[in-house]
A and B are shown apart, each in its own frame.
Chain A
C-alpha cells in the first residue's frame, strides 16, 4: 500500500467543525436554559441535527465532486491541543469516504430518531433534558468519526460513553436504570483503558498519534522490519479491547442488553444505529494496523463469530421485545466484526452491513417503541399477539425491518449479510469453513428468533385482553423468578401499576413517519449499497481482487436462503399459536444458560464484583486499623507527648504486625513491577 496523505480541506469542507459544533451548542443551550426552554427545546434539538445532516450532505457532495485521481481524504487542523516534547496532538478533523458514510448515517438516521422522540417523549417532563443529551451524543459521535488522530477519536469515544450513560439512566429514579447506566459506563471504561494503552503504545513506537503518521509508520516498519510483530499484535489487540467494550462484543457484551432500561429512542439511536458501531469504525479506520498482523485479524474474526452466535442463542430465549432486539444487535455487530476482521475486500462489506443495520435496526427499535407506546409500556412479547389489526403502520414497517434483518432477498440484509457469509467461507484454510459455518448458522438462528418475535407480537391470538388473569399470572411469574428479576419482570410490575391496558392504538404521525422512512431504507438501502458504497469506499480500503474460493457465490446464497427459510418455518410453526404467559421450566441446559445470558453476568459477578467488594472492604478495615495505627504510633513516638494519639492505638499489635508485613509485601511487589519496565 502506498503511503497515506491527507490533503488540506478547501471550500465548504474547511468548515466541517460545524458538524460537531452545532449539536454541541444546542446541547449546551438546552442544559443552561433549563426549564425556560421546556416548550421549544426539543425542536431546537431536532433542528440542530437536521442542520448537521444538511451540512453532511453538502460535504458529501463536495467529496464526490473530486474526480478519480484526486485525494479524497481532506483534513483541517483547528488548533494545537497538546505539544510537549515529541508529543504533538492537535484538534484536527478528517473527512474521507469512510467518515462521509458515517456522518450521513449518524445525522440522517439520527434526525429521524430525534423526530420520533418528539412524539415518544411528549408526556415526559424531562423531554428538554432528553434532547440535550441526545444532541450531546450526536456531537460526540460526530467527533469520533471526524477526528484525524487517535486522541480525538478517544475524546469522541468517551464522549459517547458519557452520553449513553446519561441516556440509559435517564429515568434515574428507577434503580434498575441507574444501575444499567453505571454498568454501561464501567464496562466501557474497561475497553477504554485498552484503547488508551493502544494510543500510548503508538506514541512510544511511532512518536505520534496522528492517523496518517501512525499508518505510514506501520507501512514503513513492514518494509524495514523496524517494529516487532509483537508490538503490532499488542496494538491491534488493545484497540480491539476498546472496540469490544463500545460495540458490546464478547467478553464485554453484558452491558448492552441492560442498556434497554433507557427510553426506546435511546436504544434505537445508541444501541442500534450509531454508538455500538463505533468499534467497527475504529477497526476499519485502523485497517493498516490490523492488516499488518494476521494474528490480530484472526482474533477479530473469532470474536465476531463467537459473539454473533452468543447473540443469536440468547436472543432465542428472551421475552422482552427490546431485549431480543438488543441481543440481535450484539449478534449483527458480530457479523460486522467478522467482516472487518477478514480484511481485504470484506472491510467494505462490514461497513455496508453496518449502514443497512443502522436503518433496519433503528426501524425495529422504533417499531418496538411504537408497540410499547400503544400497550402502556408493556414489553413482554408473551403478552402481545394479534396486534397487526390495531397498528397497521407499525406492523408493516416492523415487518419490512424483520424481513431485512433475516436477509430475505431483495431487502437490504440480504445484500449485505450474504457477501459476509461468502467472505467468511472463503477465508484461507480450514478456518474458512469454521467461520463460514458459524455465520451461516447465525443466519438460521436469526431467522428463527426474529420470526418468534414477529409472530408473537403481531400475529396469533391476542394475549393481552384478560386483565385479571394476566395480572395474577404475572405476579406468580415475578415471585417464581424474583431471584433474577429481569427487565421483563420490571415491565410486568409496571403494567400492574397501570392495570388497564386500553385498546392498543397506532402512534401519532410524528412517530410513524420516521418508521416509514426507515422502512424505505431497509428495503432499498442494501441493493444501493452493495455496489455504489463499496466503490465509494475504495479510496479508503483499496482495490481487492477475489482471493481463494471454497464456495461460489451461488452456493452460499442458496445455503443462506435455505437456512433462513428453515428458521422462519420453524419459528412460525412453533409460535403461530402463541405461547404460554409465564416462563416454562427449562428442559435443557442450553435453554437455562441462554435465559441467564450464558452466565456472563454471573461470571462477572463472581470473578470481578464479589472479590472486588471483599477487597475494598478488607482494605478499608486494614487502612483504619493497621496502616493508620502504625503511622500514628510512629508519629506519636516522634512527636512525643502526644498522649491523645497514643491512647488511641491500644492493643492492635497483631493487626499492626500483619499490616506491616502486607504493606512491605505490597511495596516489594510494586517495586518489582517498576523494575519490570
Chain B
C-alpha cells in the first residue's frame, strides 16, 4: 500500500474540494474537511502498523520519477522520527479543525470571512506537513519546506487577530530568508553529490552514503551545514531568530497557532536531525557547542520572557521557545538518551502546547480578549475548562505522569552524562516553567473574579460537547504516553541510534563500574 503518497494526496484533494464549496455553505466545508482529516488519520494509523519498529531505517518507501535530468524524484520514506511526527500532525489536524469550528465565522468586527477557504488551507497545510516529513529526496523536502509557508501565511494574514498583517509578513520573510540559504546549500549539495557519485541525485540515501564515505570535504561541510542550519534555526526557532514566533503565535487563530507551534516548528528540529547530522557529521560536531549555547540561551531566555508576558498567546509562544531550547540541547548533546528525548519532546510538545493553544483559544473566544489582565477568577464558573487548562499547563512544565516529563527527563539525563554544566543550567528552566505556568494560571483562573467577566454570558459556559471531544483525546494521550511511553520510544530509538552512528558518537560509559552485573 502506498501510504505516504496517499497521505499527501488525500488532504490536498480534500483541500481542493473544500475550497470549491460555495461560501454560503460553510457547514458543508467544515464537514468535508473533518472527514478528510479523519481519513488521513486512519491511513496514518494503518501506516504505523505497517512500520516495523527496529526494522530498516527507512520504510514505506515509494519513488516516482519527476525531472530525470536533475535526478529529482518524488521519493517518500519514513524513519521512526518522521513517523511519529507524521502521527502528531495527523492527530492534531482533525482536532484543530473541530476546535476552529466557529473561529472563521466572523472576524470579531462583524465582517464575514470565507469559511471554506479557511478549512481548505488547513488541509493544504496538512498535506505539506506530511510531505515535508515523508520526503526522502532533498529537493522534494526543500519544496515542501517552502510551500508549507503559503497556507500558514494566509491562515495568519487573513484569519488572525489585530496584528495579523504584520505577523504574517514577518513570518513569511523570516522563513523565506532561511529557505533561500537552504536552497543555496541544497544546490551546493547537489553539485557535490554529482561530483562524488558521478550522477545527478537528490536522493537522501545516496547522499548520506556519500557523506558517510567521507565524500564531502570538511570545509564544504561547514558551509552546507550552515545553510541548512540557518533555515532550521529560524524555523524551530532558536535564539536569536525567535522574534517572529510570538508575533505569529499571538496573531494566528488559536487552531492555526497550535499547528504552527505544535508541528510546523518541529520541521526545523526534524531537519537538523534528519539532514544536518547524517549529511554533515564533521560540521555537526564542529558547530555543536554553538548550537548548544544558542539552545541553552533559548531555554532560559524564552522562559524568563514567558514570565513577563501580558498576553496569553504570546506567553504560550515564548514557552515554546524555551522548549525548543531543550530540543536543541538534546539533539546536539550527541547521546542516545538526549537525542531520543528530543524527538519524543517534539511529539509531546506538540500535544501539550497544542492543547494549551486550543484551550487558550476557547478562553479568548469567550472573553473576546487575549490579554491576561482581562481575566481573573475565571476558574470558578468554568471548572472543566480551567481543569483542562491546568492539565495542559502541568504537561507544559513536564510534571511526571504527563508525557513531556519523559522527554525532558531523557534530554537532561542524556545531556548531563555528556556535559554537566549545560544540564545544570538547563535544569533551571524547570523552575522557571513552574513560575510562568502557575502565574499564568493564577492570573486567569484563580483569585477574585474580574467584575467584567461576570457580565459576559460566554464566560459562564463551560466546555461544550464539541470542545470536550477536542480536548479529551489530547488529555488521554498526554497521560497515557506519560505513564507508558514505550510504544513511541521503541519507534524513535532505532532511528536515533542510526543517526548517532552516522556522526560517529557513542554514549559515555558510567564513571564507576556498577554492581548491576551481579
Contact = CB atoms under 8 A, between A and B. Distances in A.
Interface string B413-455: 1101101111111011011001100110010011111000000
B484 interface: yes
A204 B511 contact: yes
Contacts of A638: 173, 177, 180
Contacts of B243: 623, 627-628, 631-632
Interface string B474-513: 0000000001111001000100000000000001111111
Contacts of B405: 155
B430 A192 contact: yes
Contacts of B377: 173
B7 interface: no
Interface string A166-204: 000100111100110110011001101100110111011
Interface stretch (B114-122, B182-190, B219-227, B297-305): B297-305
Interface in A635-660: 635-636, 638-639, 642, 644-645, 648
A674 B289 contact: yes
Contacts of A670: 292-294, 296-297
B511 A162 contact: no
B499 to A, nearest CB: 13
Residue in A185, A192, A674 with the greatest tally of chain B CB atoms within 10 Å = A674
Interface string A200-216: 11011111101011001
A676 B422 CA distance: 8
A210 B424 CA distance: 22
Report, as a range, how many residues of chain A touch the other chain: 35 or more
A206 B416 contact: no
B51 interface: no
Interface in B156-203: 166, 169-170, 173-174, 176-177, 180
A199 B510 contact: no
A463 B243 CA distance: 62
A151 B409 contact: yes
A541 B176 CA distance: 65
A645 B428 CA distance: 35
Nearest to A226: B512
A220 B305 contact: no
A258 interface: no
A226 B445 CA distance: 53
A671 interface: yes
A40 interface: no
Given A172-B445, A671-B293, A663 B240 contact: yes
A608 B518 CA distance: 47
Nearest to A86: B507
Contacts of B510: 86, 203-208
Interface in B324-363: 335-337, 340-341
A412 to B, nearest CB: 35
A271 B290 CA distance: 46
Residue in B301, B377, B413, B485 with the greatest tally of chain A CB atoms within 10 Å = B413
A178 B425 CA distance: 29
B407 to A, nearest CB: 10
Given A159-B400, A631-B241, A631-B243, A204 B416 contact: yes
A173 B380 contact: yes
A596 interface: no
B307 interface: yes
Interface in A620-638: 620, 623, 627-628, 630-632, 634-636, 638
Interface stretch (A59-67, A76-84, A277-285, A490-498): A76-84
Contacts of A634: 177
Nearest to B290: A671
B99 to A, nearest CB: 21
A200 B173 contact: no
A317 B388 CA distance: 42
Contact of A208 (B292, B293, B516): B516
A173 B414 CA distance: 41
B514 A193 contact: no
B399 interface: yes
B212 interface: no
Contact of B305 (A84, A159, A190, A619): A619
B304 A85 contact: no
B446 A217 contact: no
A3 B507 contact: no
Nearest to A227: B512
B405 to A, nearest CB: 8
A231 interface: yes
A97 to B, nearest CB: 22
A231 B383 CA distance: 47
Contacts of B341: 84
Contacts of A196: 409, 412, 427, 430
Nearest to B515: A216
B292 A82 contact: no
Contacts of B400: 154-155, 158-159
A159 B508 CA distance: 31
A617 interface: yes
B124 interface: no
B410 interface: yes
B293 A3 contact: no
B489 A671 contact: no
B303 to A, nearest CB: 9
A278 B180 CA distance: 56
Contacts of B335: 85
Nearest to A621: B308
Contacts of B512: 205-206, 217, 220-221, 226-227
Interface string B144-162: 0000000000000000000
A227 B493 CA distance: 30
A193 B430 contact: yes
A466 interface: no
A233 B195 CA distance: 57
A203 B428 CA distance: 19
Nearest to A172: B446
B289 A616 contact: no
B421 A674 contact: yes
A79 B485 CA distance: 11
Contacts of B293: 667, 670-671, 673-674
Given A31-B387, A84-B489, A159-B399, 8 more contacts: A207-B514, A208-B514, A210-B516, A623-B305, A635-B174, A645-B170, A648-B166, A671-B293
6 contacts: A3-B518, A85-B336, A155-B405, A175-B446, A193-B428, A210-B516
Lowest 9 A-B CB distances belong to which pairs?
A: A216-B515, A207-B510, A616-B308, A670-B293, A200-B416, A155-B400, A178-B446, A628-B243, A172-B446
